[in-house]
Amino acid sequence: MKPVLVYGATGHTGRFVVDELRRQGLPVAVSGRNADALESVADGEPIHPAAADDSDALDRALATAAAVINCAGPFAVTAAPLIAAAGRAGIPYVDVAAEIEANVDTFARRSTTPVVPAMAFYGGLGDLLATAALDGHTKADEVHVAYGLSSWHPTPGTRLAGRVSHDRRGGRRVRFTGGVLRYHDDPPTEQDWEFPQLGIRRVIPEFSMADLVTIPSHLTVPEVRTYMTTTAAHDLADQNTPPPVGRSDQTFVVDVIVNADGRRHRATAHGEDIYAITAPLAVGAVVRLLDGRSHTQGVASAGAAFDALEFLRTLPLVLGGVGADLGGFQGGV
């Protein structure tokens, strides 16, 4: 089997993805800008130094790959050239982008090869949970995705991507309402959210994440709202918060509530380390694309491309709703 190429393999998330591919017994190749840094990551695997703006180097890197996972932000810079190179090579592309604007750009693309953006904790996991909660239905009145993080030590890549998104929207905030993304200058507020496993926590509503793009890309829904615990939001805002080192003891609950036809559906996931959980999400997407377990062609989100419930049950998560396995969501709550 040809190797799966990890672009941005030397970064925090990239290293998790490389380790997950090895854990699953899949051949790996590593790529990125810094050849010396790639040497430190590779364990005898092929190394393909390539800058995102060097199309010839990217073509050489992808020529012998089965698929590519892009872990190198900011994705406003790397996604388009990597997707184009994957198209020329005729292979699937997966990324872990959390940048709202970069994901909007990706979903606007036409592609003859599979492209799954935001296959990560932000964007992918919430989309899978919302899709599973709807149990085959494709319309909803509202989707709420609340993130209950015990803390958030952002990587340098997270901070850089955040600055790029902030600058692209001119410092404005964004919401998904009336079926479209809307930019605004309303100040942030706070409210209470009752999380399974956590209880009541203060959250910032309209703390906008990639779910605003992935979920309405395939579900007909006029309102998608995301929320973040204030503790984690303050960690992110504090420039003195140190970056993560290796696997952390950070815990999270992702609590998704979907209102549809007068019924309330709920799906939750509880786990550890938002960066580490991205690895089985991205690798799981590639495995399914390569073995034919995808439902779509071209650009598609996790919930559109895969069997959401089957995918969720393979992840290292505690899944549930109101005290029940996700399989009990047919009638809603």
pLDDT mean over 120-144? 96
Asked if residue 327 has pLDDT above 60, the reply is: no
DSSP 8-state assignment for residue 242: P
pLDDT at 197: 82
DSSP 8-state assignment for residue 182: E
Q: How many residues does the chain have?
A: 333
Kindly report, residue by residue over 254-310, the tens digit of the pLDDT: 999 999 989 999 999 999 999 999 999 999 999 999 999 999 999 999 999 999 999
pLDDT at 321: 67
Residues 95 and 68: their CA atoms lie apart, in Å, by 8
Handedness of CA 162, 166, 169, 175 (dihedral sign): positive
pLDDT at 326: 42
Give 9's pLDDT tier (boundaries 50, 70, 90): very high
Give φ, ψ of 170 to 5 degrees: 60, 30
Residue for token digits 């960066």?
Answer: 275
Q: Across the strands, what pairs with 282? A: none
Residue 190 is encoded by which pair of tokens? 């706070």
Query: Is the separation of the CB atoms in 266 and 318 below 8 Å?
Result: no
Domains in the chain (CATH in brackets) are 4-121+279-305 (3.40.50.720), 128-273+316-328 (3.30.360)
How do strand 67-70 and strand 4-7 relate by DSSP bridges? Answer: parallel
Q: Quote the distance between the C-alpha of residue 193 and its chain's center.
A: 23
pLDDT mean over 12-41? 97
pLDDT at 320: 86
Query: Is the separation of the CB atoms in 175 and 212 below 8 Å?
Result: yes
Asked if residue 331 has pLDDT above 70, the reply is: no
Asked if residue 38 has pLDDT above 60, the reply is: yes
E strands, 155-310, in order: 173-177, 180-184, 191-195, 199-205, 223-229, 251-260, 263-272
Asked if residue 167 has pLDDT above 70, the reply is: yes
DSSP 8-state assignment for residue 74: -
Residues 13 and 15: their CA atoms lie apart, in Å, by 5
Residue 140 is encoded by which pair of tokens? 């909803």
Q: Average pLDDT of the chain?
A: 94
- The end-to-end CA distance of the chain, in Å, is 45
pLDDT mean over 55-78? 97
Among residues 216, 57, 237, the alpha carbon closest in space to that of 139 is found at 216
Instruction: Enumerate residues 6+ apart whose C-beta is below 8 A from 88.
Output: 59, 62
Asked if residue 232 has pLDDT above 70, the reply is: yes
Handedness of CA 7, 9, 15, 18 (dihedral sign): positive
How do strand 251-260 and strand 263-272 relate by DSSP bridges? Answer: antiparallel
Give 156's pLDDT tier (boundaries 50, 70, 90): very high
Among residues 312, 214, 279, 244, the alpha carbon closest in space to that of 24 is found at 279
Query: Is the separation of the CB atoms in 243 and 153 below 8 Å?
Result: yes
Q: Across the strands, what pairs with 49? A: 32
